[in-house]
Chain A
Amino acid sequence: MTDTTTETGTDTRPSPTAPKRSFMNQLEIDTRLLGMIGAFILVCLVFNVLTDGRFLTPRNIFNLTIQTVSVAIMATGMVFVIVTRHIDLSVGAMLATCSAAMAVTQTDILPQVLGLGLGHPLTPWIAIAVGLIVGTLIGAFQGWLVGFLTIPAFIVTLGGLLIWRNVAWYMTDGQTIGPLDDTFQKFGGINGTLGETWSWVIGIIAVIVALWALWSSRRNKISHEFPVKPLWAEALVAVIIAVGILGFVAILNSYEVPTARLLREFEARGEVMPDGYAAAYGIPYSVLLLIAIAIGMTVLAKRTRLGRYIFATGGNPDAAELSGINTRLLTVKIFALMGALVALSAVVASARLTNHSNDIGTLDELRVIAAAVIGGTALAGGIGTIHGAILGALIMQSLQSGMAMVGVDAPLQNIVVGAVLVLAVWIDIVYRRRTGGKS
């Protein structure tokens, strides 16, 4: 798809069947995605060497994934915002407001108004619902200002950055609120994982679903008499997917819970730990949440009318409007969705800290925008992918953690991350120019 000689080859042939194509073409893999995965692997390998093998341990990979989740969740929403040629600078501040609202709900409002204390089975869910409502309303309101009052998104959300950061401060008097509800904390990462067995179950189900999706898409193409890739290529893709998913599960499953922690858990239940007992963490709930959001957002982007309209509006707002798309309402929906994702991200972020702190989410807007942009979302609009944004978040987090492990000074870390952002966008521009402006 990027090789110009084969491109003209397919064009001039009268029949779409079996044109000679290169190896990469037959696999139908996005070369840009491949480049990003390559860059990610390179970053990991370099840090692994620099840290004498400490970077690619199950423990560090586990930590990397749970550190990435919060920014990655918001980055998926930022893709839609940037694709429609807007920007949201307020996500970090909104995260603080959502987090504050949820913390105040569980520690203050619920115990006093409804008499539900921390640990009550309803507490975490009511708190999360409150967070989602707050986030969605703030997002929808900002979207309304952008879409209907036509105030530039940059200004609306720059104002929002100041407003929501300080609304959060005002709500909590700047105090740290904690500890949060135990069940709520399970969304933070290490405090809530699936355990070994369920991780394998989920991994195997994921492989089955992925293979079924591959197979049904191939069957669908055949039924419409579209060209399909050769069977060996299909099989190779299937194997890569299966190995990838199960490999990820295996790594998370080989990070064992420290014995001291297991002892404490058994003691808390009034039991005695059997000799030689071991347990692994497995997949954290927060990572499951991210995967669910990634799948949902990808389906939304590629397979729903809403997604189609988002990309059409980003590509040509006038054309979208002339096609009968209500681009103003669309803007409200996009920002409302961003707000809801910020709320979910706030659940993960505050649960990971086990409390709400006044500076939660500070500078997250820049991390989220950087993740989306490194992931190939074009600020000019119309182009961007969900998986790209998540990979972008992962690359950013790997750089940051890796440098911290190597012992690079904090200011230098940020200098490197900033330089990588600019470099990534430049490489992207060169890549797009070479491939003729394709996504």
Chain B
Amino acid sequence: MTPLVELKNISLSFGGVRAVDNVSLDLHPGEVVGLLGHNGAGKSTLIKILAGAYQMDEGEIWIEGKKVNIQSPRDARRHNIETIYQTLALADNLDAPSNLFLGRELTTRFGLVDDAQMEAETRKIMARLNPNFRKISEPVSALSGGQRQSVAIARAVYFNAKILIMDEPTAALGVHESKMVADLIKELKAQGLGIFLISHDTREMLDLCDRVSVMKNGALIGTEKVGDVTEDDILSMIIMGKARDAA
């Protein structure tokens, strides 16, 4: 089966630092691949290359068997890649519908933004993702961490993503909200999306992911099926920076 995404020998340097060093990864439909590693291991940089926020120095990105050229977030969206950033990337002064549709506003036949329509769509998707969400027309700065997270997730899910990148989606959330995100990941996976998940919570990763890839100092240490490894195996990969066989 053709992988949904293939990242081949990706490298990117900032100044003299090799933030991503010759990393290859793939992702299949209906699969969750977890990226693990210390802060600064290069996980976020790698997925930002796929999301179009950074441009790689070397390497190739293949989507559904075709080589693609992703130069900007707009390119990534065109290939149905949606990203939930660690920072959420919300414009705090705008309300939830404006953020959800930012860059892809619905317009009336006169070419003006159709706020009413966007608000209605936002209510619909929010009813599904977070039924407690009420502050539709408040600036998102007035929302709680969990509510802000739901806006960011809604933005990624609404536009029929095939490839979803989630960078620390549960970092700012409470137990109950984390559970909602976990359920959502399972639901999207069942719908056939491919998901790259970044998290520091090793146990959560083993629970949600099909495979986990460990990075250290920009390089890929190894990729393992979760059934084949224990939490301790993963932790030693993260800390020692050695593949399991060699350990």
Interface residues of A (CB under 8 A from B): 10-11, 16, 220-221, 223-224, 226, 299, 303-305, 307-309, 311-316, 318-325, 382-383, 436-439
CB-contact partner of B119 in A11, A226, A312, A325, under 8 A: A226
CB-contact partner of A318 in B83, B89, B139, under 8 A: B89
**CA gap between A308 and B104 in the complex, in Å:** 11
Name 9 interchain pairs, CB-CB below 8 A, sorted by A: A220-B116, A224-B119, A311-B91, A312-B98, A315-B91, A319-B89, A322-B73, A324-B103, A438-B142
Q: Shortest Cβ distance from B133 into chain A, in angstroms? A: 10
Pairwise interchain contact B73-A324, C-beta atoms closer than 8 A: yes
**CA gap between A436 and B92 in the complex, in Å:** 12
Q: Shortest Cβ distance from A384 into chain B, in angstroms? A: 10
Pairwise interchain contact B73-A11, C-beta atoms closer than 8 A: no
**CA gap between A437 and B143 in the complex, in Å:** 12
| Beyond known contacts A316-B91, A320-B102: 10 more, CB 8 A cutoff | A10-B134, A221-B116, A223-B116, A224-B120, A314-B93, A315-B93, A316-B89, A319-B89, A382-B91, A439-B93
Using a Cβ–Cβ cut-off of 8 Å, how many residues does chain B contribute to the interface with A?
37
Pairwise interchain contact B113-A303, C-beta atoms closer than 8 A: yes
Q: Shortest Cβ distance from B127 into chain A, in angstroms? A: 12
Pairwise interchain contact B113-A312, C-beta atoms closer than 8 A: no
Dominant SS at the A interface? Answer: helix
Does B74 sit at the interface, judged by CB under 8 A?
yes
**CA gap between A405 and B49 in the complex, in Å:** 64
**CA gap between A309 and B93 in the complex, in Å:** 12
Residues of A within 8 A of B92 (CB): 315-316, 382
Taking CB as reference atom, which chain B residue is nearest A10?
Answer: B134
Pairwise interchain contact B119-A319, C-beta atoms closer than 8 A: no
**CA gap between A324 and B59 in the complex, in Å:** 23
CB-contact partner of A308 in B73, B74, B105, under 8 A: B105
Does B2 sit at the interface, judged by CB under 8 A?
no
**CA gap between A303 and B98 in the complex, in Å:** 11
Pairwise interchain contact B116-A305, C-beta atoms closer than 8 A: no
Across the A-B interface, give the 4 residue pairs with the lowest CB-CB distance, nearest first: A315-B91, A315-B93, A323-B103, A382-B93
Pairwise interchain contact A312-B94, C-beta atoms closer than 8 A: yes
Assuming A304-B112, A319-B91, is B98 touching A224 (CB within 8 A)? Answer: no
Residues of B within 8 A of A438 (CB): 138-139, 141-142
Residues of A within 8 A of B139 (CB): 437-439
Residues of B within 8 A of A307 (CB): 113
**CA gap between A223 and B114 in the complex, in Å:** 13
Residues of A within 8 A of B104 (CB): 324
Pairwise interchain contact A324-B74, C-beta atoms closer than 8 A: yes
Does B225 sit at the interface, judged by CB under 8 A?
no
Residues of B within 8 A of A220 (CB): 116
